């Protein structure tokens, strides 16, 4: 049990700056009291999540939503609050110029603008000390024949290569795929295979991001996890839950069993430790629920799935698999999944000097009321408006 607790204590989960801002759907954004007015306050909220959970010491930024004049000062602000800036998410999807795409746009001028933004993001990483540049492209087509599928892959590859070449030592390029949306006929990086192939061409510091909301219904995501881990090309997760499309609901809310199956592959590959280089990030929007407790809940959901994965009796599982004991092997997994790990996690938090119930502790601490009084005119997350 102490090994399991040690692994859980070492786990790191990164929260997204945009998860703290107002967000919604294309129908309505419902503003909430106390929402951050700028990136500095988003970092304060992320630090609050870390204070109560102890396992969320980094926050991802999104540029230009989190643009500031002095990124080194923002990194110092994070450090003062006990956290650090994590991945830098580039945004080449919200400008007028990107109607027909960014890095795969047929217009070389638009492509230049897009790549320049990616290079600027690496510059920001140099200032914030971030390791990861996270790229998701809204590029794609709505109609067959709209553009040349193959030429778009060439343009994408060229843009990625220029960006990859700009990375400093120790920096990585994380490429995210998405099956659909905002383009509906095809997207230019629709699946893990496409992302993987581009990463292989680029080099070892190009890694795939799995956003759990970006697949067709029924996709076996843990297979993708296992495959990419085996190939050494899984760089990160964007965790969230979906019922239908890219819902960006709280991770572990819709399908905690899927999250457990994913974490089982991680544990099996010994990839939980930060030294393994997999970034466990949340990519979520809290449209109707209070944001900080929702992020805390999400962190706890990841911890619970991880604890269950760590409880899998690896020796018994290997034996059952070797003997072809189908039901026995399945039972080993289900026994772990069906264990209530909340007491174990409460114990771990107590050992770490944290409140065993982080959500309740947050509600008691008065932070929500304080920021609601202090912050007037909170920022929209920039997403889903």
* Shortest spacing between CB 197 and ligand AOS, in angstroms: 20
**Would you count residue 66 as binding ligand AOS (CB under 6 A)?**
no
Q: Which is nearer to Zn ion, 210 or 312 (CB)?
A: 210
Encode 185-210: b = buried (16+ Cβ within 10 Å), e = exposed. Answer: ebbbbbbbebbbebbeebeebbbbbb
User: Is residue 383 part of the contact set for ligand AOS (CB under 6 A)?
Assistant: yes
* Contact call for residue 178 and ligand AOS (CB under 6 A): yes
Please state the closest distance from residue 188 (CB atom) to ligand AOS, in A: 13
**Does 139 participate in binding ligand AOS (rule CB under 6 A)?**
no
Kindly state the tokens that stand for 334: 């289900």
Q: Which residues bind Zn ion (CB under 5 A)?
A: 211, 238, 246, 283
Cα angle 90, 124, 161 (rounded to 5 degrees) comes to 55
**Least distance (Å) between residue 120 CB and ligand AOS:** 16
- Phi/psi of residue 215, nearest 5 degrees: -120, 165
Binding partner of residue 239 among ligand AOS, Zn ion, none, CB cut-off 5 to 8 Å per kind = none
- How far is the CA of 207 from the CAs of 12, 17, 213, 248, 277, in angstroms? 18, 22, 18, 22, 10
User: How many residues bind to ligand AOS according to rule CB under 6 A?
Assistant: 11
Q: Does 177 bind ligand AOS (CB under 6 A)?
A: no
What is the closest distance, in whole angstroms, from the C-beta atom of residue 244 to Zn ion in the complex? 13
| Least distance between Zn ion and beta carbon 214 (Å) | 6
- Give the bridge partners for 207, in sequence order: 174
According to CB under 6 A, which residues from 84 to 123 bind ligand AOS? Answer: 89
Query: Under DSSP, is residue 144 helix (H, G, I), strand (E, B) or coil?
Result: coil
Q: Give whichever of 62 and 268 is closer to ligand AOS, judged by the CB atom.
A: 62
Q: Does 211 bind ligand AOS (CB under 6 A)?
A: yes
Binding partner of 268, given Zn ion, ligand AOS, none, CB within 5-8 angstroms per partner class: none
Q: Under the criterion CB under 6 A, does residue 283 sit at the interface with ligand AOS? A: yes
Of 192 and 362, which CB lies nearer to Zn ion in the complex structure?
192
* Residue 348: CB atoms within 10 Å: 22
Report the alpha-carbon distance of residue 140 to residue 76 in Å, rounded.
38
Q: Beta strands of 42-162 (E only): which ranges? A: 58-63, 84-90, 132-135, 140-141
Q: DSSP letter at 379?
A: P
Whose Cβ is closer to ligand AOS: residue 188's or residue 238's? 238
Please give the backbone phi and psi of residue 186, each rounded to the nearest 5 degrees, phi first: -155, 150
Structure token pair of residue 54: 């102890």
Residues lying near ligand AOS in the complex (CB under 6 A): 18, 62, 89, 136, 176, 178, 211, 238, 246, 283, 383
């Amino acid at each position: 049990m102490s090994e399991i607790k040690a692994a859980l204590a070492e786990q790191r989960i990164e929260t997204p700056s945009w998860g703290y801002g107002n967000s919604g759907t294309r129908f309505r954004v419902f503003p909430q009291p106390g929402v951050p007015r700028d990136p500095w306050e988003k970092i304060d909220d992320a630090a609050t999540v870390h204070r109560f959970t102890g396992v969320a010491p980094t926050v991802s930024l999104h540029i230009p939503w989190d643009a500031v004049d002095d990124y080194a000062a923002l990194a110092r602000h994070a450090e003062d609050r006990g956290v650090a800036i994590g991945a830098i998410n580039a945004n080449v999807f919200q400008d007028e110029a990107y109607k027909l795409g960014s890095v795969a746009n047929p217009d070389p001028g638009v492509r230049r603008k897009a790549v320049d933004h990616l290079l600027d993001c690496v510059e920001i990483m140099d200032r914030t000390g971030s390791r990861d540049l996270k790229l998701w492209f809204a590029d794609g087509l709505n109609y067959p024949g709209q553009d040349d599928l193959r030429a778009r892959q060439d343009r994408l590859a060229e843009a990625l290569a220029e960006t990859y070449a700009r990375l400093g030592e120790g920096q990585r390029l994380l490429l995210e795929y998405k099956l659909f949306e905002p383009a509906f006929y095809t997207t230019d990086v629709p699946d893990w295979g496409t992302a993987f192939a581009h990463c292989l061409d680029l080099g070892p510091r190009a890694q795939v991001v799995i956003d759990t909301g970006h697949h067709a219904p029924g996709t076996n995501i843990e297979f993708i996890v296992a495959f990419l881990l085996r190939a050494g090309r899984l760089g990160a997760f964007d965790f969230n839950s979906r019922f239908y499309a890219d819902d960006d609901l709280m991770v572990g809310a819709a399908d905690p069993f899927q999250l457990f199956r994913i974490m089982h592959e991680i544990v099996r590959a010994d990839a939980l430790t930060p030294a393994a280089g997999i970034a466990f990030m949340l990519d979520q929007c809290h449209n109707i629920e209070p944001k900080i407790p929702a992020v805390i809940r999400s962190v706890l959901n990841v911890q619970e799935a991880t604890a269950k994965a760590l409880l899998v009796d690896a020796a018994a599982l290997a034996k059952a698999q070797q003997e072809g004991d189908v039901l026995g092997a399945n039972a080993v997994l289900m026994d772990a999944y069906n264990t209530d790990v909340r007491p174990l996690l409460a114990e771990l938090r107590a050992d770490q000097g944290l409140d065993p119930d982080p959500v309740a502790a947050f509600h008691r601490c008065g932070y929500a009321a304080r920021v609601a009084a202090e912050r007037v005119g909170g920022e929209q997350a920039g997403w889903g408006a």
